[in-house]
Structure 1
């Protein structure tokens, strides 16, 4: 009897253990499913809502995607997204392979880039931004934008995208400082780029946020503010390449600036084969200036000449005084051939993508026109690049 009792007790103990284990397993399983459900709910709730697409100033309207696809534009794979030039994460390697630029860094359109170093509107840390952006020889790249030109899907997006997919231009983005002339442009800049500077209006009530058509409204004041900014960069000891935001970069234009040049500028039309022949009409869309006392003095004299000629923009004043000031200050000034710094003003040379470094939306009226035509130029460039198998 004792043995039988012991045996029955052992069997009951084993059954109790199995039931306890089964109960534990059920509790664990139930907890797992509850946890998974809660996690999924959090992920869904935390997903940001995509902003609505707008084609008012959209980079490419839906009907243009077929045309861009036919031209071989690698960015026109899909239907427009809120930032029409953003590539889905899974396609970054494909885009890098197709275009040969070897960069798979995320497109900073909907996510603020890491290491944000932009100045706040209440600070003037331009010297710090220039220090962070400078190349080894203390050269920086500058562009200037406002609310109209920096809206999602507008010229700023195309401008930045051209850097990302050009021939050896992606690394230049780390040297680019975007100068915003109004609060909304500054906010947009901080959303898409690492180095942003807010150029405040110095207490004036002037509105620089619109398109600023050539020689209308606040256009003149804006151009001379740009001139003053460039002079300040020189005074801080930095050389610069200034580029308008309605320019697409295909290659590095610095490769076309002679080592001995103090000041090199794009022009509307280029005649002859002598870059130091100053008998050409200046275009301030792309300017290289080497930091030196003589170049800084040239800029100061240029500004004073502008003050003595009210109602004229900085390009016209430059053309009037360029020879005198270059001789007075010992500045080697030159114009770069439009075969390399192309634009719509000089269509006689066509578009030789074997030579072109940049292409400017000049001599076009209206931002939508600039955007549409520059997008097509960029699509032609992509087609040429893919066919020629150009790589970095």
Structure 2
């Protein structure tokens, strides 16, 4: 027994020496084992009761596309499969959410734990939600939805599905805050996502729950409420990526936003090869804004200009004043090429899935049309991904 103890002690000494040669102290070892134990505990606790999804966050199972097609045709309104909400099984490789500046984030848990903090209609805790969602550089991802767009089998389901099934987009769900324009949209959000915020229409009886016809009064009010909300996020010190809910995410679009940009926006059509040439028509469906005093001042002036121009939406006011406001406030503004942020408005370039990061259901009338055509785009993307053997 003494000989065995001596042998084990010698082996431990050799291992300690090897770890020391690698620059690891006993404290490092202790931290490593504690971290490993915590990770193992999380994996055990987060295992779903339902059978595991063999396809995880990778390619989408064929039956899911049948379900999406049924959604688009209005023949199915099923709740999301439990497999779309679970963490990848142990043994799957870890996905990283890589930002434009190269920062990496670990794979999040996309399940909704009981008792988690979230905004309620009676408690405005936006700062806490943003803190929970923020990346290392205090960037958050935002989208806005209402009852019509968030009903089961609607655009919100396809939007979230695209994150889970895109290339390295699933980890970005950890940073997504869904902003609900009405109470039912908020309730629906709470069923399918971790971070939900109820943007209440204080002081107005306007109904924002239905599909809002383009350029009608409620639509215009909603667009300027969105603009005010974005300004508030900046004022709280957070940069943001805003994405319309009628956009499917294929890859991480942050990689296409230059580090030096204060404000980057999608456009209906992209001409030439200079993103800083502002002679393009803005599309507010995708906006990146860096938190700074100058960007906040730009937003404030933008909103005040809108108040002086009743009947115009925020995109039209932006196009009218973008050069003046950018120069006045020292904001580096640019448009992102539609080769990367594509959409139905710019069909000249086709759909090059070697480049596309997102695809927008713009220049389409009606939610059902958007859902049907975006579902087909996503199915095309999945076929391309399978053929090209794209993996995470």
What TM-score comes out, normalization by structure 1 length? 0.75
> Aligned to 1:94, what secondary structure does the other structure show?
coil
Greater Cα offset, 192-201 or 67-76: 67-76
- Residue by residue over 1:173-192, the C-alpha shift from the partner in whole angstroms, topping out at 9 and shown as x without a partner, is 00000000100000000000
Question: Separation in 2 of the partners of 1:322 and 1:15?
Answer: 63
Conservation of the 8 A alpha-carbon contact between 1:62 and 1:80? no
Question: Separation in 1 of the partners of 2:294 and 2:227?
Answer: 16
The CA deviation at 1:118 is 1.5
> Aligned to 2:82, what secondary structure does the other structure show?
coil
The CA deviation at 1:99 is 21
- Residue by residue over 1:325-356, the C-alpha shift from the partner in whole angstroms, topping out at 9 and shown as x without a partner, is 00000000000000000000000000000000
Greater Cα offset, 55-64 or 201-210: 55-64
Conservation of the 8 A alpha-carbon contact between 1:182 and 1:200? yes
Conservation of the 8 A alpha-carbon contact between 2:305 and 2:317? yes
- Residue by residue over 1:352-374, the C-alpha shift from the partner in whole angstroms, topping out at 9 and shown as x without a partner, is 00000000000000000000000
Question: Separation in 1 of the partners of 2:330 and 2:186?
Answer: 37
Change (3 A) 1:58 1:327: same
Conservation of the 8 A alpha-carbon contact between 1:83 and 1:109? no
- For residues 125-274 of structure 1, what are the structure 2 equivalents within 5 Å? 125-274=125-274
Conservation of the 8 A alpha-carbon contact between 1:86 and 1:107? no
The CA deviation at 1:165 is 1.0
The CA deviation at 1:116 is 2.9
> Aligned to 1:222, what secondary structure does the other structure show?
helix
Question: Separation in 2 of the partners of 1:211 and 1:386?
Answer: 35
> Aligned to 2:144, what secondary structure does the other structure show?
strand
- Residue by residue over 1:246-296, the C-alpha shift from the partner in whole angstroms, topping out at 9 and shown as x without a partner, is 000001111000111000000000000000000000000000000000000
Conservation of the 8 A alpha-carbon contact between 1:74 and 1:382? no
The CA deviation at 1:108 is 13
Change (3 A) 1:206 1:273: same
> Aligned to 1:135, what secondary structure does the other structure show?
coil
Question: Separation in 2 of the partners of 1:261 and 1:12?
Answer: 53
The CA deviation at 1:36 is 38
The CA deviation at 1:317 is 0.3
Conservation of the 8 A alpha-carbon contact between 1:59 and 1:153? no
RMSD: 12.8
Question: Separation in 2 of the partners of 1:314 and 1:301?
Answer: 12
Conservation of the 8 A alpha-carbon contact between 2:140 and 2:238? yes
Change (3 A) 1:347 1:297: same
Conservation of the 8 A alpha-carbon contact between 1:72 and 1:386? no
Conservation of the 8 A alpha-carbon contact between 1:92 and 1:106? no
What TM-score comes out, normalization by structure 2 length? 0.75
Conservation of the 8 A alpha-carbon contact between 1:51 and 1:82? no
Conservation of the 8 A alpha-carbon contact between 1:101 and 1:167? no
Question: Separation in 2 of the partners of 1:339 and 1:10?
Answer: 62
Computing the radius of gyration from Cα coordinates, the structure with the larger value is 1
Change (3 A) 1:60 1:344: farther
Conservation of the 8 A alpha-carbon contact between 2:119 and 2:125? yes
Conservation of the 8 A alpha-carbon contact between 2:265 and 2:288? yes
Question: Separation in 1 of the partners of 2:106 and 2:267?
Answer: 35
Conservation of the 8 A alpha-carbon contact between 1:263 and 1:290? yes
Conservation of the 8 A alpha-carbon contact between 2:118 and 2:196? yes
